[in-house]
Structure 1
Amino acid sequence: MTVAPPAALAPAAPAPGPARAPTSAAAARSRVRDLLRRAGVGLDSVIAADVLLVTSELVTNAIRHGGGLTAFHIEIADDALLLSVADANPHAPVPRTGTPDRPGGYGWPLVKRLADRVDVRSHGGGKTISAELHLA
């Protein structure tokens, strides 16, 4: 009779599935901060500040104006951070200037200024905004 070691008898860990979308801009920034840290990007750098600001703006806009955040993806490829944020509104962001009655309107122009590339794609009942920010 052969006895398997205890580790062999333990159930296999479930396969990782798609990560849930963060529920706030702070949670999204935390995920990005962790990825930057693992990639060796200094968190006190201007590059990290720009990446975190773009993350905040896209997630906040999805929550406030896009009917909610439906998907969130980050990865580093070829010395660039690739960020995708999906929401439930198929309409592309519209730049606007804030007024005393309705302040704001700076986020979308800021995203377009800080990111090296921004792409907006409508699909089904929503859209995905992808941004690329070079890390070097």
Structure 2
Amino acid sequence: MTGLTSEEARRIARQVLASQETEALVDDVLMVVSELVSNAVRHAGGVTGFSVRCDTGAVVVEVADASATHPRSPGTSAEVPGGFGWLLVNRLAERTEVRSRPGGKTITAFLHRPPHLPLPPAGH
């Protein structure tokens, strides 16, 4: 899976989302997928695991890589660039988790899935 690109990951995410009532989340999910996958490729030697699933209350994006280094937000030091993608992921996701594991880490982003609103009765 180390050869997974952001484009391929977005295609997979679109396929998962196409069968669900997630229209309102598509752009946010695709942005989170792009950021997490591109960061794994750029900073962690590539993606070692990837999944997108729709749970009852959220769309869940998981990206695993081979680096034990956790993402950081901007503001750490003016001399160290970057961190803005992680900030964006945390703004779009309701919650994020970073779990260390042997051989790397897994980042999970939970994007709130609004309840489906029923159509109003005919004639109203």
TM-score of the aligned structures, taking structure 1 as reference length:
0.74
Structure 2 unaligned segments of length 5 or more: list them.
Answer: 115-124
CA distances 1:79-116 after superposition (whole Å, capped 9, x unpaired): 3111110001011111236xxx9864310000011101
Q: Percent identity?
A: 43
Structure 1 unaligned segments of length 5 or more: list them.
Answer: 1-19
1:83 aligned to which of 30, 50, 61: 61
Determine the C-alpha separation between the residues in 2 that align with 1:71 and 1:22. Answer: 11
Q: What's the secondary structure of 2:71's corresponding residue? A: coil
Q: Mean alpha-carbon deviation: is it higher for 76-85 or for 20-29?
A: 20-29
Match in the other structure for 2:43 = 65
Q: Give how far 1:22 is off.
A: 6.3
Determine the C-alpha separation between the residues in 2 that align with 1:134 and 1:22. Answer: 29
TM-score of the aligned structures, taking structure 2 as reference length:
0.81
By relative contact order (CA 8 Å, sep 6+), the higher-ranking structure is 2
Match in the other structure for 1:39 = 20
RMSD: 2.3
Larger radius of gyration: 1
| Superposed structure 1 runs of 4+ greater than 4 Å apart | 101-104
